Structure 1
Amino acid sequence: MDLPSLTLVLQAALSSNPAERKAAEQSLNQFQYTPQHLVRLLQIIVDNNRDIAVRQFASIHFKNFIAKNWAPHDPNEQQKISPSDKDVVRDNILVYVAEVPPLLRVQLGECLKTIINADYPEHWLRLLDWVKHNLQDQLVYGALFVLRILARKYEFKSEEERTPVQHIVEETFPHLLNIFNKLVQIDKPSVELEIPKQLLDPNVFNAWMMLFLNVLERPVPQEGQPLDPELRKSWGWWKVKKWTVHILNRLFTRFGDLKLRNPENRAFAQMFQKNYAGKVLECHLNLLGVVRVGGYLPDRPQLDVLLFEIVFPLMCFNDNDQKLWEEDPHEYVRKGYDIIEDLYSPRTAAMDFVSELVRKRGKENLQKFIQFIVEIFKRYDSAPVEYKPYRQKDGALLAVGALCDKLKQTEPYKSELEHMLMQHVFPEFQSPVGHLRAKAAWVAGQYAHINFSDQNNFRQALHSIVSGLRDAELPVRVDSVFALRSFVEACREIFKLMNEVENEDLVFTLETIVDKFGEEMAPYALGLCQNLAAAFWRCMNTAEADDEADDPGALAAVGCLRAISTILESVSRLPHLFVQVETTLLPIMRRMLTTDGQEVFEEVLEIVSYMTFFSPTISLDMWSLWPLMIEALADWAIDFFPNILVPLDNYISRGTAHFLNCKEPDYQQSLWNMISSIMTDKNLEDNDIEPAPKLIEVLFQNCGGQVDHWVEPYLRITLDRLRRTEKSREHDKKVCCLGLTSLLALPGEQLDGEALGRVFRATLDLLVAYKDQVAEAAKEEEAEDDDGMDGFESDDDDDDDADGSDKEMGVDAEEGDEADSIRLQKLAAQAKAFHENDDDDDDDYSDDDFSDDEELQSPIDEVDPFVFFVDTVKVLQASDPMRFQNLTQTLDFHYQALANGVAQHAEQRRAEMGKEKMEKASAATVAS
């Protein structure tokens, strides 16, 4: 693409017409790798006769292209810029970087940074000669601009990588002495990590120090000084003072402190302390005095003035912070957590000053500074909402957080920290001011490790942090995330205690933490499960060594398993995590599903239920637990049949293919042996074997058409058992209705006319009975809601009735993802109810004690038997009209009336189901 064409494309990229912009961008992407493309872009950028908007767009495209393609991260990647184009760019960008407007210089500067970092010195040997030449020819701006980028390349490099700095200093610094006003921005990175040897010469160093001190001591002229403090920061006089202070501060903290220096530079440190340290400190104090009131106070109280009137205001939230918070919260967050920004931040310097002051001179300064902070807290608490000093409170909280290490070790402050957090920090989680909510989260994280005398206070902090993760303001959410890390580290302290003491309360505290954090615990789920598993084995070993029934180790072991279940529940929406924790939990599940685990069998089954339900797939290792559960059920665990039902259902419904195809072991035969043994056991009551027919139902509903050879044997044992059953439940009636209705669809050669009539009439009778039973159950539930507790049922019975009423018509009460979690959450409570009923007298049992199970879901839950019956009859009428006519002629008036009533009820149910479906869809839309 030639130069005029490229110019037109760049102009089109600025068009207000989206189609033109898109076409231009596609054209740029298409031709960007052609030879000379980069060179032509540079020609457009430096051409003063072209539109500045086009030049700016070209400069941005130029910068992005160089950043991406000049030095590919993969050394094996093919170079997309030709060597000749690179040579042209390197030679010309140096010439024009000082001549283009500042708007374009920023972009070219970024390009220079990329090129220098990639090419100097290996591929750009002439760069330093160009800088030296331009310094001598007084073309200083471009030279200084390039030299600063060159110097910053080595600012944080190791000593081995800083060898080129020696040559740079030797060649350029003599010339820089003549242009000191720009030098200070370049000198600092040159001494960031090490002083070049040339500057260690006392005569050379003294010349530089005299210049530095002269800059600091020289008064700033009032003429031309901007009135706006923000503009004043970028004014030349103050900028040169700022960079001089940076350099002197670095020289002292890194090379001039005798306590910190390595032996080879000790002579330099002694020379600096003797000749320059006092003068530098005097200049600094004079500068701060000018900042405060325009003059310097040499008397003793100067430290208080410095601390309370200069340093503390720097720690407070200010107008610039507010503007950045509102206009660019992402940049606010970046600056707050950028280590490079901290190097130049007045706020960070103020925090470091306060920390160092109380460390070195804490005896005379800590108490008065804390009293100063307390007074701010008091003024804040007593002021009306509209007059509260929010920004000063922010600075006070920052100070409290910065001094956390000192305060956690020093009495009387150490013993008052919890009270301070409760009174002055935690309330700010509810502040209407966003930056105070963020600061409260940060301070809470700083003090997460203190010993809370009241665990409710610790839990309140947890709850507040979790709430902050969902705050509307981005900086609050980010500070909450960092605080979360501190609280998870506090969990590790709990693990350390658990290593020393098997205490159920410790496990309960950890369980509370996991429950509060929910999905936010996902990054730590594996580590938590590993620690809990290790704690479980220690507790079990302790319990086995102690024969006492109420051994605390056994209680703590149960608590460990409960906490693991809580973790699995909290990350149930993240299936990949279950794969990670499986290896850790398998040894526990394998051993505790034997007689060794009778005391924790219920808790282990709950873990198995989670693992088989939420994992992406059921692994072969998890399938190895099936025989253990079947063996336990046959041997001693019949009381846990309701608990075992859920994982067995998961195996069949979620691992159907493996269940059907595996022959070693043969899961179909294993299931038959177990169910037939239980169903034919005359010593077991109906309520003992209730999960067995449910498993038969799970088998046929999930494996339809693939287990036909099992239909006859399962029907036989079911019918044998039904002969001893007094009353069927609603769900059983529904299954029978659907089964009989399905027979109506059989062709004439499989179901003759006489049999068809009998099945039709039986289905009508059963549908009417089912409708009456559903209505009666609804009426009883309404009466219970009106009357409340009638005194004849226990609390547990009430719970059972409430649980059972949700699915009377076979339709789930819970929808969406929540149903999966609720299903397993109710498992433990419902299984407990079975155990409690087992302890009652036999005369107390009735079918009413057990209602349709909410913890099991099946493909027929959404099928209405009345609608299904009517639809099946319509299909029969359409496919074989003669057969349908013969059927209707065999019906007497009674069954004709029943058929009409069922048809009317079916249409009513169809309308109700349609309305429910629309309401659920609407609710889902609102929720999303």
Structure 2
Amino acid sequence: MDTRKIADLLRGTVNPNHIERQQAEEQLAQIHKIIGFAPTLLQVIMSQEFDMPVKQSGVVYLKNMVNGSWEDKETETGKPIPFSIHEQDRAMIRDAIIDAIVHSPELIRNVLAVILNHIIKNDFPGRWTGIVDKINVFLQSSDPQIISGALLCFHSLVKVYEYKKDKERAPLLEALNLLLPQVYGLLINLSADTSDMSLVVQKQILKTFYTLVQHSLPMQLLTKEKFTDWMGVVRNIADRGVPESTLAIDEEERPECAAWKCRKWALHILTRTFERYGSPGSVTQEYDEFAGFYLNTFAIGFLEVVVRILDASRQKVYVSPRVLQLSLTYVGQSIKHAVCWKLLKPHIQMVIQNILFPLLCFTRQDAELWESDPHEYVRVKFDIFEDFVSPVTAARELLISICKTRKDQLQPTMAFLVQVLTSKEADASQKDGALHMVGALSEVLVKKKLYRSQMDSLLAQYVLPEYQSPHGHLRARACWVMHHFCEVKFKDPELLKQAVQATVHTLLFDRDLPVKIEASIALQALIGSQDCNELIRPKIGEITLQLLEVLRESENDDMTNVIQRIILEFQEEVAPLAVQICQHLVETFGRLVSSEEEDKALTAMSLLNSIGTLVSLFEDEANIIDKLEPVAWPFVIGLILMEAKLEFYEEALSLVEDLTSSRISENMWKAYELIYQTFQRDAFDYFNEMMPALHNYVTVDTDGFLSNSARVLAAFEMAKA
């Protein structure tokens, strides 16, 4: 095939002129099945003759072809033979793709690596043993760019086997007998070199080693001696300083430096191997003996490295957030073991007071985000995925672990926190940190008779007054602490009344969105744990409408749980507001579904559950259901089924079931037609979820079902399938 002709068509696919772009796409669609097309695409990508937009278009086209048409597909009787890339073309691509990766710029290289990953999954080792020798040859290059490309291929190979069981990893382990010593030697030679390109290569090696060992440790390959060699160089990199030149980079961008990424992956390896293979009593049987070896050989030395990192942070030397988080996680693993605790114990209160406490205080960055973008502040603070990598979360978990595992540390920790809370010199940020730590320790404190008996006093003296704080973050923190201590019954009814009134008032009248959200969650906790419904009942209408406003403004998933709790607890009071509540929920759901932000799906799912709870609660009250149905039907059921939003099918079908439990309206018969269309299109896998609603259609309005032959035929077709 003519590479120039293909290149011209690829150039056409990025043409701003819609007609010309469409023509180019149509011509590519007509020729892409011809033998020789896919290898020609790869030639275009590798050629120096064509510009970057053409190559980018080509590599994306090739990726889509490989992902969709690489492997042979079974032919169904009576249907056209599905297209697969011809084996002749596949062989040519296998032969050239490693060369393409090592010689391509990063933009192209990363997409080619995705293609390589797919090919390895399907063809290694059966049709493609030559990949190992190719990678090995390029690893011996003196050109760091080529080495980097070879390491990307090496990572793709290891990645395919990352989560496979040991017996399924045999082809990889055979390849690693050749490649791993080569890569180890490369890391040793580069570890003293902190130039940018050297650090990039070191990072790639560490990342791949982590991929190799994070789920399963191949002890037949990594004997104790070889493992010790690897961990020695990993430790040195974790302990290695970062070039001063990185300080000139903006702090927000600094973690992306190769130097910090090297330390991050080194810490990843230290933390993961300790957690999974180095903790006697906590490992699977196959690692029992190895865990003792690990603890005695490495734990103290690695802990010393981690302590140096934490001490640097204490002295206000910059440490990237991820390195800090992993270091704290390592300490959390260490305190469980006597040999490590012996080293840590004399310094642990210093760690709590000088490292954990500052991390748990309200920071300048927090304040800036709160003021400039409260919605983003809420998103960050409530992001469960952020928690996995946050040093704040790691600090909180370490604090809990220390006081739970080493019980003699709870008293001095609480004494320190009370000192901060009673000090006239403590500023608002420090008070926030102290309350944060008290709330974090709630689970430990309520199990101790001494502290449990003082809960009323603690809340009255240190928490309730902060509901009136001029600082928004302290008002939010007060609500947060209240929510964490709610499982303990208040002894003083007057204190409970004050707590409920303060929380309700904060929800209704506070000016700051983050405060309102924390007040909402605290109110939910109070309702769930305390006898306070009668205190709330007179204001339930105002509360419900305010909760809906906060949900609409914040789109926060936790708010849907609060609203569901209110609906369930105060059914009688909520009944007059049912339609208004449903309208709010449907409107917010529609906005979230139309959003392109992936993190909105969970909140949208919760909203559907809330709508379902509302409908289910009033399903026996025809006058309310008659008003709820027109709201829910077009905007929720119709939207989901007509637009094929598969992720919401289960909830939508459950909603249809609730709306058809006692009568079938004309709208619900339209929903029946949609269900049949959906079933024909893409919902065969959801037939079990359809069954309860279909049962209602047949049994609740049998006459209506039988009176229309199309309905009967649809039911027959679905049952037959």
Classify the TM-score, shorter chain.
Answer: 0.5 to 0.7
Q: Which structure 2 residues correspond to residues 64-463 of structure 1 after superposition, within 5 A?
A: 64-71=64-71, 78-137=82-141, 139-158=146-165, 161-180=168-187, 181=202, 182-198=204-220, 201-223=223-245, 226-294=248-316, 300-310=349-359, 312=361, 317=366, 336=383, 343-346=388-391, 348-360=393-405, 363-364=410-411, 365=413, 372-373=431-432, 396=477, 404=484, 407=485, 423=502, 427=506, 449-451=528-530, 453-454=532-533, 457=536, 459=540, 463=545
Amino acid at match of 1:570: L
Deviations 1:787-819 (A, max 9, x none): xxxxxxxxxxxxxxxxxxxxxxxxxxxxxxxxx
Instruction: Assess if the C-alpha contact under 8 Å between 1:166 and 1:197 holds in 2.
Output: no
Matches within 5 A, 1:912-923: none
| Contact preservation (8 Å) 1:444, 1:461 | no
Are residues 357 and 162 of structure 1, via their aligned partners in 2, closer, same or farther at CA, if it must alter by over 3 Å? farther
Contact 2:10 2:54 in 1 (8 A): yes
Q: Is the 8 A contact 2:466 2:478 kept in 1?
A: no
How many angstroms does 1:268 deviate by?
1.9
d(CA) in 2 for partners of 1:417 and 1:319? 34
What is the CA–CA distance in structure 2 between the aligned matches of 1:171 and 1:335, rounded to whole Å? 46
1:346–1:303 Cα change, 3 Å: closer
1:10 is paired with a residue whose SS is: helix
Would you say the 8 A contact 1:97–1:108 is kept in 2?
A: yes
Residue aligning to 2:657? 580
TM-superposed deviation, 1:527: 7.9
AA matched with 2:149: G
How large is the Cα RMSD of the aligned pairs? 5.0
For the structure 1 residues 92 and 442, does the alpha-carbon distance in structure 2 shift closer, same or farther, using more than 3 Å as the test? farther
2:23 maps to what in 1? 23
Letter in 1 for 2:582: G
Compared CA separation, residues 263 and 561, structure 1 to 2 (3 A): closer
Segments of structure 2 that go 5 or more residues without pairing to the other structure are: 188-201, 319-345, 422-430, 437-462, 586-606, 638-652, 671-695, 709-721
Aligned pair in 2 of structure 1 residues 200, 20: CA closer, same or farther (>3 Å)?
closer
Q: 1:518 aligns with which of 562, 568, 582?
A: 582
Please tell me whether the aligned partners of residues 232 and 238 of structure 1 are also in contact (alpha carbons under 8 angstroms). yes
The Cα offsets for residues 13-38 of structure 1, whole Å up to 9 and x where unpaired, read as 33333322232233333333332222
Deviations 1:417-454 (A, max 9, x none): 99768746984688776666677777777887434613
TM-score normalized with structure 1 length: 0.50
Counterparts in 2 of 1:262 and 1:152: CA distance versus 1, 3 Å: same
Aligned length: 548
Alpha-carbon distance in structure 1 between the residues aligned to 2:69 and 2:314: 50
CA–CA separation in structure 2 for the residues paired with 1:368 and 1:324: 33
Percent identity for Structure 1 against Structure 2: 20
Residues 238 and 29 of structure 1, relative CA distance in 2, 3 Å threshold: same
Structure 1 residue 513: Cα displacement: 9.4
The amino acid across from 1:156 in the alignment is Y
Q: Give the Cα separation in 2 of the matches to 1:272 and 1:168.
A: 26
Tell me the amino acid that sits aligned with residue 260 of structure 1: S
Q: How many Å apart are 1:95 and its aligned residue?
A: 0.9
1:467 is matched with 549
Kept after mapping to 1: 8 A contact 2:42/2:93 = yes
- The whole-number CA distance in structure 2 between the counterparts of 1:304 and 1:235 is 30
Contact 2:238 2:305 in 1 (8 A): yes
Asked if structure 1 preserves the Cα contact closer than 8 Å seen for 2:255 and 2:261, the reply is yes
Report the alpha carbon displacement of residue 369 of structure 1 after superposing the two structures with TM: 6.1
Note closer, same or farther for the CA distance 1:103–1:513 as it changes in structure 2 (3 Å cut): same
SS at match of 1:306: helix
Q: CA deviation at 1:455?
A: 5.5
Give the match for residue 765 of structure 1.
none
How far apart are the structure 2 equivalents of 1:63 and 1:320?
A: 39
| Shift, 1:145, TM fit | 0.8
For residues 811-849 of structure 1, give each alpha carbon's deviation from its aligned partner in whole angstroms, at most 9, with x where no partner exists: xxxxxxxxxxxxxxxxxxxxxxxxxxxxxxxxxxxxxxx
* Counterpart contact for 1:165–1:190, Cα < 8 Å: no
Match of 1:484 among 545, 553, 560: 560
Tell me how far apart the structure 2 counterparts of residues 10 and 431 of structure 1 sit (CA, whole Å): 56
| Aligned-pair CA distance for 1:163 | 4.4
CA pair 442-623 structure 1, distance change in 2 beyond 3 A: closer
2-structure distance, mates of 1:126, 1:517: 63
From the superposition, tell whether residues 144 and 436 of structure 1 become closer, same or farther in structure 2 (CA, over 3 Å).
farther
Structure 1 unaligned blocks of 5 or more:
495-504, 533-559, 586-606, 625-650, 659-928
Q: Report what 1:838 is aligned to.
A: none
Distance 1:14 1:295, change over 3 A: closer
Q: Matches of 1:27 and 1:75 in 2, distance apart?
A: 26
Q: Distance in 2 between matches of 1:168 and 1:443?
A: 56
1:489 and 1:357 mapped to 2: Cα distance?
34
Q: Shift in Å at residue 562 of structure 1? A: 5.5
Cα shift at 1:55: 1.9
Report the secondary structure of 2:39's partner residue: helix
The alpha carbon displacement at 1:287 in A equals: 0.8
Secondary structure of 1:30's counterpart equals helix
What amino acid sits opposite 1:454 in the alignment?
Answer: N
1:45 aligns with 2:45: yes
**CA deviation after TM superposition for structure 1 residue 524, in Å:** 7.0
Q: Is this contact kept in 2: 1:59–1:107, CA < 8 A? A: yes
**C-alpha separation in 2, matches of 1:322 and 1:67:** 46
**Deviations for 1:343-372, whole angstroms, at most 9, x for unmatched residues?**
545455445435434543573446866954
> What residue in structure 2 maps to residue 60 of structure 1?
60
User: CA 1:579/1:146 → structure 2, altered by over 3 Å: closer, same or farther?
Assistant: closer
- 1:570 pairs with one of 628, 631, 637: 628
AA aligned opposite 1:251? T
CA contact (8 A) 2:206 2:266 kept: yes
Contact residue 101 and residue 113 of structure 2 kept, 8 A:
yes
Shift of 1:611: 4.2
Query: Cα 1:325–1:381, aligned 2, differ >3 Å: closer, same or farther?
Result: closer
Please give the residue correspondences for 1:879-890 in structure 2 after superposition, counting only pairs within 5 Å: none
Amino acid aligned to 1:40: T
Q: Contact between 2:370 and 2:377, CA under 8 Å: does it hold in 1?
A: no
Output the TM-score relative to the length of structure 2.
0.62
Q: Aligned letter for 2:160?
A: K
Name the amino acid aligned to 2:311: G
Specify the SS of the correspondent of 1:193.
coil
Letter in 2 for 1:484: T
- Please tell me whether the aligned partners of residues 255 and 268 of structure 1 are also in contact (alpha carbons under 8 angstroms): yes
Identify the residue that residue 669 of structure 2 maps to in structure 1: 616
Larger Rg computed on CA atoms: 1
Task: Give the CA deviation at 1:176.
Answer: 2.0
Deviation at 1:186, TM superposition (A): 0.7
Distance 1:72 1:345 in 2: 44
Q: Distance in 1 between matches of 2:401 and 2:167?
A: 32
User: How far, CA to CA, are the matches of 1:51 and 1:444 in structure 2?
Assistant: 60
Please say if residues 169 and 196 of structure 1, whose CA atoms lie closer than 8 Å, have aligned partners that are also in contact: no
Q: Which moved more, 1:53-62 or 1:408-417?
A: 408-417
